[in-house]
Amino acid sequence: MTALLALDFTFLSDTWSFVETNFDELLAALRRTLQVSAIAIAGAFVIGLVLGAARAHRIPVVSQVAAVYVEIIRNTPILVQIFFLYYGLPQIDIFLDAYTVAWLAVMLWGGAFNTENFRAGFEAVPDRLREAGFALGFRPVANFLNVTLPVGGRIALPSSINTYISVVKNTSLMYVISYPELTTTVLQIQALTLETVEAFTVLALSYLIIVWTMSALIRLLESHLALPEAFK
């Protein structure tokens, strides 16, 4: 029994010493993961909002182009999209470095899913609310900004949040282009020192902490932003 307890404690101290020894590298890697995620989430929000609105309002040309973009991204694996951006584009003379591909790939991916989220949200806004807006004298753009967007955006909140969390998780795929975010860095250290169990514990815990914190913060936000029953 005491042997088991001793085993647990050495495992914990080994994991801690793994973190201590490689602290600078791991911190830099964490910073990169969060930085890439932040840029991608912001971009995905904007893309989703703009293209989702275009699709919901059937704006010609933009709507069709957005549809093609969404269908291509949603129906192909994100790993292949990453390979394409990093290794395929140079064949047509577009050279992106690993950092650019990192945030661009997940931003384009998140933006496509978010477009669908916002489109569904905007289309779910009850007609009577929009008609009320017109009755109040709003022009179409103003109507969108004052009625459809606030209500539709809140309807779309749960699904867009899922997309943003997936964006953070998908940054781990930058392993394949060796961009030194969390997964790449931890695996590189593990390849040299073979402290397999400690490395993967640190890696798993890092992602769980990031994702769970994001979920908790967002649930707080959701309760503040919840739609009153009258609006549903």
Of residues 142-181, those binding another protein (CB under 8 A): 169-170, 172-173, 175-178
Nearest to residue 70, comparing CAs of 59, 62, 79, 82? Answer: 62
Of residues 90-119, those binding another protein (CB under 8 A): 90-91, 93, 95
Nearer to another protein, 144 or 164 (CB): 164
Nearer to another protein, 151 or 203 (CB): 203
- Contact region with another protein (CB under 8 A), list: 23-31, 127-135, 151-159, 185-193: 185-193
Q: Backbone phi, then psi, for 51, in 5-degree steps?
A: -70, -35
> Per-residue x/- mask for another protein, residues 190 to 229, rule CB under 8 A?
xxx-x-xx--x--xx--xx--xx-----------------
Cβ–Cβ under 8 Å, residues 209 and 131: no
List of residues 6+ apart from 86 with CB closer than 8 A: 96, 98, 101, 177
Distance CA 174, CA 181 (A): 7
Q: Backbone phi, then psi, for 179, in 5-degree steps?
A: -75, 125
Binding residues for another protein, per CB under 8 A? 71-72, 74-81, 83-84, 87-88, 90-91, 93, 95, 169-170, 172-173, 175-178, 183, 187, 190-192, 194, 196-197, 200, 203-204, 207-208, 211-212
